[in-house]
Amino acid sequence: MNAAPITTSLREIDDLPSPRGLPLLGNLHQLPPATHHLTLERWAAELGTPYAFRFGTTPVTVWNDIELSHAVMRERPHRYRRYAPIENILQEFGCNGLFSIEGAAWEPQRRLVMQALSIPHIKAFYPTLAAITERLRRRWEAAAREGRVVDMTDDLKRFTVDVTSALAFGEDPNTLENERVLIQEQLAMLLPMLMARVNAPFAYWHYVRFPRDRKFDEAMIDVHRHIRELMARARARMREEAAAEACATPLGDTAHAPRNLLEAMLALRDAPDSGITDDEVAANVLTMLVAGEETTATSIAWALLFLGSDDALQARVAASARGVLGDSAVCPSYGAMRELDLCEAVCTEASRLHPVAPYLSFEPLEEVRLQGVRLPAGTKMFMLNRPAMTDPNNYADPEHYDPDRWLHDHRHESASERGAHEPRAYLQFGAGPRVCPGRHLAAVQMRLVVSMLTANFTARLATNPADIREICTFTAVPSEMPMRLALR
């Protein structure tokens, strides 16, 4: 990837096309945080890639190349790292966990997370997943009977917080049945503040705190208090169970087997010479809570944009779901859940057109030469995702919403029958060694929620679909997703 023919003249970053900016500000005034991702995509269409823009005086290169994206992600964490300001700011938040941590520190943490989110663990956890889905169904049934408009994005975030907490920490906050759960409101503040500070021209919060910053600081104090209480309760349970096991088997092996991610992290942290601190455990707890809430909920919410405005599609998904669920309100087993391919496909296709991660950001750890451009170590790199996912060379009729393109039978048709379909262009879970460890859990939640919704309710958007906009709060979320539900 670094090799370039001797006869090829290298371009420098300043040689790349760039949008016109202002002295000192660069292009900051053209990049409103909520819609900056759309501006980056527009510049890519106008200027081609790679191009460069400036955060103040800092150049940022922008790329749109599937193979390059895969190559960069394969070479993490040895040659590339995630955009450094993200890790720096999350470190200040006490949230520098598996998502953002760099270097050798991520490997032992990833092993723990991968074990907690493995297919056998998710399969064993399935009854709890189904119970939380039933709780969501009851919430929606009450709204349908009362004729209330449902804020679907908020309800889906409640669902994913409950799932993540129960799976990873052994405690279910039940935000779906408790209308005011402070932890959920506080978690919702983190990603927007991360986006605001990553895009700030300088670290103003080191010198002055505005009201929004003070409110956020207070929320994070409460969140970290909640996490330390989680950790203390988990340690107490582990001690009690270890003591009970010791009494039951005085001559045997009394090592307590961790039952969830938090217990596994605490067992590793408390082992002699572990080199892991309570702060690092807490950072991963917070990372799991935020990641579990935002990305999966948003993927399902975008699918509702299409389901709620297409009666024929919704009827088809409902029939498919009811065929699997039978008389059950919620998918009754893990085995049956695996038959709900269409329910996952509607979410996958929605996030192809409305990517939850509109771009990925990296920096090289050493000088690299990419596509004839010399990038010094530390150069900011944004890798756009949507252009490749809406390229007719990668997907047939790319502007058309077509969940069938992701179904098993369709994917195995000949290229002439189905047209272009390049799965490598879909990078919503990343790629390489640091591919998202929660992708299977996300798929299970998509299948459960979409099947439950369509099998039990008819859902209609309570607003004009054209009024629903993408808002980038680190992830690209819908500006709203209000729906009216009716019982089937």
What does the pLDDT read at residue 428?
84
What does the pLDDT read at residue 444?
95
Average pLDDT of the segment spanning 288-317 = 90
pLDDT bracket for residue 67 (50, 70, 90): very high
> Is the distance from CB of 436 to CB of 466 less than 8 angstroms?
no
Average pLDDT of the segment spanning 431-439 = 76
pTM score, whole prediction: 0.87
Residue 303 above 90 pLDDT? yes
Flag whether 4 is in a domain: no
pLDDT bracket for residue 412 (50, 70, 90): low
Chain-wide mean pLDDT for the chain?
Answer: 87
At residue 124, what are phi and psi to the nearest 5 degrees? -65, -30
In the sheet with 457-461, reading across from the earlier edge strand, the strands are 149-151, 482-487, 457-461
State which amino acid sits at residue 414: S
Q: Which of 10-14, 104-108, 187-191 has the highest mean pLDDT?
A: 10-14
Residue 475 above 90 pLDDT? no
Following CA atoms 154, 159, 165, 166 in sequence, which dihedral angle do they give, to the nearest 10 degrees?
160
Flag whether 404 is in a domain: yes
> What is the tens place of the pLDDT at every residue in 249-267?
655 555 556 777 788 788 8
Least confident window among 60-64, 113-117, 144-148, 223-227: 113-117
Flag whether 3 is in a domain: no
3-state class of 384 per DSSP?
Answer: strand
The boundaries of the domain holding residue 125 are 13-487
Flag whether 320 is in a domain: yes
What does the pLDDT read at residue 414?
56
CATH number of domain containing 405: 1.10.630.10
> Is the distance from CB of 330 to CB of 481 less than 8 angstroms?
no
Least confident window among 28-42, 89-103, 217-231, 308-322: 89-103
Residue 62 above 60 pLDDT? yes
Flag whether 2 is in a domain: no
Least confident window among 85-94, 106-115, 191-200: 106-115
Total structural domains in the chain?
1
Flag whether 1 is in a domain: no
Flag whether 6 is in a domain: no
Average pLDDT of the segment spanning 233-243 = 87
What does the pLDDT read at residue 6?
44
Angle between helices 211-248 and 278-307 (to 10 degrees): 110
Flag whether 5 is in a domain: no
Following CA atoms 405, 407, 410, 415 in sequence, which dihedral angle do they give, to the nearest 10 degrees?
50
